[in-house]
């Protein structure tokens, strides 16, 4: 009787069936979990390889040195991912092609129940150098308004970060050349300035108090490169007046220091630091950036700054460091930055020894006074502003016609929409115009441009 009841008892069957079914169910769940982890590792591996390949592609050195550079970026992007995986990395460079390969062993969880302890994943990335060489001009606003909230200091920091990114740790880069063009009311061509001056431009005042190097732009020829004997530049020379009050016979009365602001005086008032021509030596570029200061008086002449940006990139005189146009595997680019409108300025109140000059329509500048030279064909500051903006538009177009990639940055929240539109149109595309209301935005803009200029194209 008892035996018969046991034979017909079905209560344990379900448990046995469930136990038998639990094995493949657990394996399925384990496979899903471990496969998902493997895909996550594979994705992270791919990202790490891309970063490493880009770093190697923008560097030079021996095979061992490139391997070390790539390993550093691979480790930073993979080992610190928090994923339980051990990865390996290798890189090779053939011509312009950088090939990076990586693999990883992913530790399993539930799949260990059936003897599978790891899952192997592998990835590869290939990068092709899109810019083998770059000539870059930094055309930077150094006007007096940049003293506000130490915006000039923020500009130095932002430009320095861009240079650091582009040079990538190299002291002397074989495929990168950078020029720095500070502009305010005028531009200072630096050591080459004496070669630009016409023979009849000799002033006793210059000999007495010294000439810093700024020049007056040539009438009707502002956008040309080569100097001509019939239309050479003239020395920048702000003669004594009540709005620039100093004794021309006494150097001690000259207050041409950025810290003096509108109260500065002297023949070089409003003249910024010299241009640094194209160079691949990072220390030279660093020094030029750290020397940037805000120079008050005269106005903001973005068109003059941009014209000299073109000149430093051109292979034609007055600067001849630039490679020939359309040199294979080399590109040219410019970054034009401003914190305000292009305009002539006129002193409006007594500052230091200077007083309002009712006899003139403007301060002195890279076009002289509006009243003095008539270089812009008008004595009206409003009309002159329009002429300056038109000239800026023309030189921007001339640059783009020559194949120069133009980036523009409008800095501070006070810039009006009309000025933003001018600089947006100046850029090679809308995406290459960066509006930067704050100092943090300015740094982000320079960083984004640096990344774009140095970025390589991921082909696989």
> Do strands 85-94 and 330-338 pair parallel, antiparallel, or not at all (unpaired)?
unpaired
282 lies in the same domain as 168? yes
Structure confidence at residue 18 (pLDDT): 45
Is the domain of 79 the same as that of 160?
no
Does 1 map to a domain?
Answer: no
In this structure, is residue 210 part of a structural domain? Answer: yes
CB neighbourhood size of 12 (10 A): 8
The verdict on residue 237 lying in a domain is yes
Domain boundary among the residues 109, 128, 147 is at: 128
pLDDT at 336: 98
The predicted structure's pLDDT at residue 25: 47
Instruction: Compute the distance between CA of residue 304 and CA of residue 392 in angstroms, rounded to an integer.
Output: 8
Same domain? For 236 and 333 the reply is: yes
Q: Are residues 159 and 39 in the same domain?
A: no
Task: Tell whether 119 and 151 lie within a shared domain.
Answer: no
61 and 154 in a single domain? The answer is no
Q: Could you give the CA distance from residue 418 to residue 317 in angstroms, rounded to a whole number?
A: 34
Name every residue whose Cβ is closer than 8 Å to that of residue 446 and which is 6 or more positions away in sequence. Answer: 158, 159, 161, 162, 335, 409
How far apart CA 262 and CA 354 sit, in angstroms, is 8
Do residues 50 and 167 share a domain? no
Q: What is the domain range of residue 380? A: 133-458
Domain endpoint, select from 100, 128, 156: 128
Predicted local distance difference test score (pLDDT) of residue 21: 47
Residue 80 pLDDT = 52
Residues 118 and 157 in one domain: no
Q: Is the CB of residue 34 less than 8 Å from the CB of residue 108?
A: yes
Residue 4 inside a domain? The answer is: no
* Residue whose entry in the numeric block shows the structure tokens 């560097």: 59
Residue 2 maps to a domain? no
Q: How many domains would you assign to the chain?
A: 2
* Residue 55: per-residue pLDDT: 83
Question: From the first residue on, what is the mean pLDDT of each consecutive set of 10 residues in the chain (460 residues)?
Answer: 53 51 51 75 86 80 85 80 71 88 81 73 83 91 96 98 88 95 96 81 60 85 54 86 94 90 95 98 98 96 97 94 94 97 95 96 94 79 94 96 97 94 98 97 96 73
Domain assignment of residue 141, yes or no: yes
Distance, CA of 303 to CA of 172 (rounded, Å): 31
pLDDT of residue 24: 56
How many angstroms separate the Cα of 31 from the Cα of each of 36, 38, 120? 8, 10, 14
> Is there a domain that residue 73 lies in?
yes
What stretch of H or E contains 290? Answer: helix 282-290
The enclosing domain of 425 has a CATH number of 3.40.50.410
Alpha-carbon distance of 302 to 432, in angstroms, equals: 18
Q: Are residues 86 and 205 in the same domain?
A: no
**28 and 146 assigned to the same domain:** no
User: In terms of domains, do 122 and 152 share one?
Assistant: no
Q: Are residues 90 and 228 in the same domain?
A: no
Given this model, what pLDDT does residue 130 score?
A: 65
Domain boundary among 113, 128, 143: 128
Sign of dihedral through CA atoms 32, 35, 37, 40? negative
The answer to whether residue 3 sits within a structural domain is no
Q: Is 268 exposed, middle or buried (0-12, 13-18, 19+ CB in 10 A)?
A: buried
């Amino acid at each position: 009787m008892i035996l018969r009841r046991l034979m017909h008892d079905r209560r344990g069957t379900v448990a046995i069936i469930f136990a038998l079914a639990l094995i493949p169910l657990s394996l399925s769940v384990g496979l899903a979990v471990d496969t998902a982890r493997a895909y996550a590792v594979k994705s992270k591996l791919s990202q790490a390889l891309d970063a490493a390949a880009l770093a190697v592609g923008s560097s030079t050195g021996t095979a061992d040195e490139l391997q070390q550079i790539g390993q550093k970026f691979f480790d930073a992007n993979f080992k610190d991912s928090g994923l339980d995986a051990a990865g390996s990395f290798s890189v090779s460079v053939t011509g312009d092609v950088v090939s990076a390969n990586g693999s990883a062993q992913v530790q399993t969880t539930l799949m260990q129940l059936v003897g599978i302890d790891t899952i192997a994943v592998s990835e590869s990335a290939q990068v092709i150098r899109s810019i083998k060489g770059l000539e870059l001009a930094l055309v930077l606003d150094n006007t007096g308004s940049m003293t506000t909230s130490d915006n000039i200091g923020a500009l130095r920091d932002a430009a320095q970060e861009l240079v650091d990114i582009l040079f990538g740790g190299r002291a002397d880069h074989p495929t990168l050349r950078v020029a720095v063009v500070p502009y305010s009311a005028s531009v200072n061509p630096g050591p080459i300035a004496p070669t630009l001056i016409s023979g009849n431009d000799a002033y006793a005042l210059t000999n007495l108090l010294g000439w810093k190097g700024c020049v007056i732009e040539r009438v009707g020829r502002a956008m040309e490169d080569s100097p001509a004997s019939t239309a050479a530049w003239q020395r920048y020379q702000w003669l004594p007046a009540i709005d620039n009050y100093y004794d021309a016979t006494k150097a001690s009365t000259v207050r041409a220091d950025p810290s003096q602001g509108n109260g500065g005086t002297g023949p070089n008032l409003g003249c910024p630091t010299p241009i640094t021509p194209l160079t691949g030596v990072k220390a030279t570029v660093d020094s030029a950036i750290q020397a940037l200061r805000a120079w008050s008086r005269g106005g903001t002449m973005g068109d003059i700054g941009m014209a000299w940006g073109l000149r430093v990139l051109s292979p034609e005189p007055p600067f001849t460091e630039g490679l020939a146009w359309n040199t294979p595997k080399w590109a040219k680019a410019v970054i034009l930055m401003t914190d305000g409108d292009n305009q002539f300025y006129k002193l409006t109140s007594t500052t230091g020894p200077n007083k309002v000059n009712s006899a003139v329509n403007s301060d002195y500048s890279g076009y002289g006074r509006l009243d003095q030279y008539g270089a812009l064909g008008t004595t009206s500051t409003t009309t002159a502003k329009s002429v300056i903006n038109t000239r800026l538009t023309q030189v921007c177009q001339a640059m783009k016609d020559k194949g120069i990639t133009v980036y523009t940055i409008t800095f501070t929240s006070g810039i009006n929409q009309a000025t933003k539109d001018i600089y947006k149109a100046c850029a090679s595309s809308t995406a290459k115009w960066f509006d930067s209301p704050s100092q943090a935005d300015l740094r982000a803009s320079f960083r984004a441009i640096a990344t774009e200029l140095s970025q390589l194209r991921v082909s696989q």
